[in-house]
Structures are given as structure tokens and as C-alpha cells.
Copies of this chain bind each other. A is one copy, B any other.
Amino acid sequence: MSVSVRHAVLGAISTLALVAGLTPSAQAQDARTIAAAEAVRDAAMADNIALDYVTQLTTRFGPRPAGSPSETAASEWAADYLREHGFKNVRIQEFPLVGWERGEESAAIVGANAQRLVVAALGHSPGTPAGGIEGEVVRFTSLEAFQAVPDGSLAGKIAYVDAGQLVPMQSGAGYGPLSRIRGAGPGVAGQKGALAFIMRSAGSDEHRMPHTGTTRYVNGVVPVPAFSLSAPDADQLSRLVGYGEPVRVRLSSTARTFETTSRNVIGDLPGRTRPEEVIVLGSHMDSWDLGTGAIDDGAGGAITIAAARAIADQGRTARTLRVILYGSEEVAQPTDTGNGGGAYLRSLSAEDIANHVFTGESDFGADRVHTLQLPVGAQTGPFAEAANRVLYPIGVLRSSVPETSGGADIGPIVRAGVPVFGLQQDGLRYFDLHHTADDTLDKIDPEQLSQNVAAWAGLLWLVADSDVDFRAMAPATPAP
């Protein structure tokens, strides 16, 4: 929608609120609002339902692949959980997608150095022919080197990219270069004529636990069977190739895709005086099949549900808080319509979108929040000051860099113009666990989980119980 329409809609709402004799506008920086935000923050730090939610979710349902019976059951349970915890208008929003199932898989070096390898097929990889695939390994140390060989030159071979371990960064920035290999690799392998594609998994750990993750379609399918190799197995394979003798690998997988549906679970804590104005707290319900989706992203649901609940325990806010547990974040195909964020956006009218005043996503584990990023234009000024006052005492710094995307789930509404914030978390150990069998409840530190809840609750109170307007703070978009 255009900026002018958006402002007209908001103007109408403000006028309506005054005419209806509701509470006059409250500023986020009012002393009373800040004091209430601090109280919410401290109460959430001391006691919240996050650990209860993520414990029950991961224990009762285990892995929750998009479109699986387990995701469906977990969604029904989560809807009940929201109702039991005072959320209103709890609903489940169903949408179609192409699901993917791992089946059974195995890999081994054959011949003189025969030994098993620990692999995981990449999401949406096709299975191998029955009996498997066998070929000599050709190793590349970068995607660029792999792309540079002539088309068709790897006929009968297995292409292997080992570009080293993921560089651990607090920001998670080390993931980018490796997820690019994961996305493009099978397509390049197809182009070069290879039988299959294997890569050192996109992770920072040294455990026999491959990191899976979705790869990219080319003309509607993933071109060749594609696997991720655990770091110690990648070390091993690269050393053997380095010894200079030919290394043959056998790969087998019964992976398959299928038509299915996923679902978003949505629950509201309706606003007191501005119920049409909605703040969306996002995370995703689906998980990879290898672990139980505790840090990715049971924790996000736990943090957002607990933060909303902590706010409601303090009092009803002016605006509506909406928690959405999105379906199908991990294996979304088709990319544009197969994920929960897109399905949610399609359910909104232009007026609904204009009434979405703020959104954020929790999808980076349960380790502590260290930095707040506010929407474009809000880096300085009274709201930023108030937020800093509430968050700095629990170890959250302010950033001069605006948040602009928010993540895969809320991406669609953010691209439609909803102001977005980021409560950035410590990602130093996230990629030790992400997309592996080791993504389990025990990896969540309850104290850091509570700090997340407190940061979300404190920040959101300032927005939910005020009339702060981030759209108005954004610099005018230059005319095209």
C-alpha cells in the first residue's frame, strides 16, 4: 500500500479513538509507561511460562516437520495452550505446501578405506535410486572452484564441497557463505553432470551430527541427491582425498516430497483502547526432523508467548498483542506460497496491514539478547531513549543500525510495510546445534531464555501501551 493511504487509515483510527472517548494518547516515554515496562520486564525475568511451553512442546511432539502429523498435533496442542493462558480469538490458519520426508539414508566410503560416514540429506533432496549411488569423490574447497569446472565434466562422479567450518560470530554472519553453498550446490552438481552432491555441513561444531537445511529448486526440482556431511566426517573424507588415492563413496536415501498442508496458530491479547492496532510477535512451529526443534524454533514460540503473557499479567495494554506460531518456515516450497508468513499476509486486507503497528521475530535460539534494533528512523529520539532505559539494565545495548527484515516468518508483512524491530541474540553457539539432531531441550539455558522474555516484554509494553507510530518516524520515501 502507498504511504498516503497508510497515513489516512491511521489518521482515521486516531480520530475515532478520540471521538469514542477512549483513553487519550499515551507516550512510550511517559514516566508511568516506562515504570510499567520496567515492572513487566522484572516480573518476566523472575517468572514466566517460556520453559514450560518449550518443554511440553518438544517432549510431547519431538520433531515437527512442516506438514507432518506431528506438526499438526503440536499446532492443536499449542492452540489449546494459548487458550488456557488467556489468549482470545485463537485460530488455526491452514495452507498448502510441498512437504519433504527424509526416510532412511546412509553413506559409506567403499574400497580400501571402507567406513561409514554420517550424512543427512538436504531438505527437498530427491532420494537415490534403490541400491544407492556410488562414485569417486571430486573435492572442491569453494563454491567458486566448483562452478568453474566445465559443464558435464563430473559425469559419474560425486561432487564434494568442503569450504571449511562455519565461522562462529555473535551475529551468525558465518552462516551466509555456507548456506549459499547449500542452496546452489545441487544445481551446480546437476550442471556439471555429477551423480550427487555432498558438502561439509553448515555448522561450527565438531560432532558427528550433520546440519541439514533446505536447498534450492532448479526447474521445479532439486537436480541431484544432496547430502550434508558431519564435520568430523568431512575432515576424514578431505584427509583421505588429500592422501592422493581415489576415494569412492556410496550414498543411499529414500527421501521424497509430497503434497500436504501446514498451519499458522494465531492468538490475541486484545487491546484495551486501540484493539485494531496489532503488534505481531512471530516465531515458527515447524522444525527439522533430526532434532526436536528446541532452539529452532520452540524457543521462539516460548519467548513470544511468555512475553505476551507477562504483559497481560501486568495489565491490559492499549493495543492488541498477537502471537503467531508460523507453519513451514524450514522447508517452504513453493518459496512464495509454501510458508506461513506468506499465508498470513494473504489473509490480511490493506487496512489490516496498515493497522499492524510493529512486528518482530524470535528465531535464533534461546541465548541472551544483546542488542535492540529499531525500525528505520527510530534510532534516536524519545522512544529509543525509553527503550534503552528499560533494556540496558538487562544487558541489551542500543544499535544505530535499523532493523529492516526480521526473518523468514515476518518477512512478508515487513515487505508489505509493517515496522520491524530486532532483539538480537548471541549466536556464538547457535550454529553448533542448528538443524542437527542435537537441537534438543537441554541446550536451552533457562536463565538466558528468561532474559529474552524480559527483553521482549519490556520493549513491547512501551509500544503496546502507547500510541508510538514508527511509520511516522520513517523518512519519506522519495517519489519514484
**Chain B residues, CB < 8 A from A442:** 206, 231-232, 235
The answer to whether A115 and B63 touch across the interface, beta carbons within 8 angstroms, is: yes
**A206 lies within 8 A of B115 (CB):** no
User: Which of B240, B438, B440, B443 is A236 in contact with, Cβ under 8 Å?
Assistant: B440
Please give the number of chain A residues whose Cβ is less than 8 angstroms from any Cβ of chain B in the complex: 35
The reply to whether the CB of A60 lies closer than 8 angstroms to some CB of chain B is yes
Contact mask A8-22 → B, CB, 8 Å, 1/0? 000000000000000
- Proximity string of chain A (436-450) to chain B, C-beta cutoff 8 Å, 1 when within and 0 when not: 111011110000000
The reply on A292 being an interface residue by CB < 8 A is yes
In contact, A232 and B440 (Cβ under 8 angstroms):
yes
A114 within 8 A of B: yes
Q: Chain B contacts of A232 at CB under 8 A?
A: 292, 438, 440-442
CA gap between A113 and B62 in the complex, in Å: 8
Does A107 sit within 8 A of B, measured CB to CB? no
> Which residue from B70, B231, B239, B436 sits with its C-beta under 8 Å from A114?
B70
> A291 in the interface, Cβ–Cβ < 8 Å?
yes
Looking at the assembled complex, report how far the CB atom of A296 sits from the nearest CB atom of chain B, in whole angstroms.
Answer: 15
A58 to B440, CA, bound (A): 30
Given that A232-B440, A232-B441, A232-B442 are known contacts, is A292 also in contact with B115, CB under 8 Å in the complex? yes
Asked if A59 is an interface residue, CB under 8 A from chain B, the answer is: yes
A residues 228-257 near B (Cβ < 8 Å) are: 231-232, 235-236, 239-240, 243
Enumerate chain B residues within 8 angstroms of A59, measured Cβ to Cβ: 113, 236, 239-240, 243
Given contacts A115-B70, A115-B292, contact A440 B62 (CB under 8 A): no
Q: Which of B62, B115, B208 contacts A115 (CB 8 A)?
A: B62
Nearest CB in chain B: distance from A423 CB, A:
26
A61 is an interface residue with CB less than 8 A from chain B: yes
Q: How far is the CB of A240 from chain B (nearest CB, A)?
A: 6
Question: Does A25 sit at the interface, judged by CB under 8 A?
Answer: no
A113 contacts which chain B residues (CB < 8 A)? 59-62
**A51-68 interface code vs B (CB 8 A; 1 in, 0 out):** 000010011111100000
For residue A116, which residues in chain B have a CB less than 8 angstroms away from its CB? 62-63
Contact B61 A235 (CB under 8 A): no
Q: Is the CB of B209 within 8 A of A208?
A: yes
The answer to whether B61 and A443 have CB atoms under 8 Å apart is no
Nearest CB in chain B to that of A59: its residue:
B239
The answer to whether A206 and B236 have CB atoms under 8 Å apart is no
Give Cα A154–Cα B323 distance, bound, in whole angstroms: 46
Which residues of chain B come closer than 8 Å to A207, judged between CB atoms? 207, 209, 438
Q: Is A61 touching B208 in the complex (CB atoms < 8 A)? A: no
Q: Does A462 contact B (CB under 8 A)?
A: no
Residues of B within 8 A of A236 (CB): 58-59, 62, 292, 440-441
Q: Is A464 an interface residue (CB 8 A)?
A: no
Least Cβ–Cβ distance between A111 and chain B, in angstroms: 12
Any B CB within 8 A of the CB of A118: yes
CB contacts under 8 Å to B, within A160-191, are: none
CB neighbors of B among A435-477 (8 A): 436-438, 440-443
- A201-228: contact bitstring with B at CB < 8 Å (1 yes, 0 no)? 0000011110000000000000000000
Query: Most chain-B CB neighbours within 10 Å: which of A114, A232, A239, A441?
Result: A232
Q: Which residues of B contact A206 (CB under 8 A)?
A: 440, 442-443
Given the complex, which residues of B lie within 8 Å of A208, measured CB to CB?
209, 291, 436-438, 440
Distance in Å from the Cβ of A58 to the closest Cβ of chain B? 8
Which B residues lie within 8 Å of A438 (CB)? Answer: 207-208, 232
Cα A239 to Cα B52 in complex, Å, equals: 12
Q: Is the CB of A441 within 8 A of B60?
A: no
Residue of B nearest to A433 (CB): B207
Residues of B contacting A118 in the complex (Cβ-Cβ under 8 angstroms): 437
22 A-B pairs with C-beta separation under 8 A: A59-B113, A60-B240, A61-B115, A62-B115, A62-B236, A63-B115, A63-B116, A69-B114, A70-B114, A70-B115, A115-B292, A118-B437, A207-B207, A207-B438, A208-B291, A208-B438, A208-B440, A232-B292, A232-B438, A232-B442, A235-B440, A235-B442
Residues of chain A touching chain B, judged by Cβ–Cβ distance below 8 Å, are 55, 58-63, 69-70, 109, 113-116, 118, 206-209, 231-232, 235-236, 239-240, 243, 291-292, 436-438, 440-443
Known: A62-B114, A208-B209. 9 other contacts (CB 8 A): A59-B243, A60-B113, A60-B240, A62-B113, A63-B115, A70-B114, A206-B443, A208-B438, A235-B440
List the 6 shortest-distance A-B pairs measured between CB atoms, nearest first.
Answer: A62-B115, A232-B440, A208-B437, A206-B442, A59-B239, A208-B438
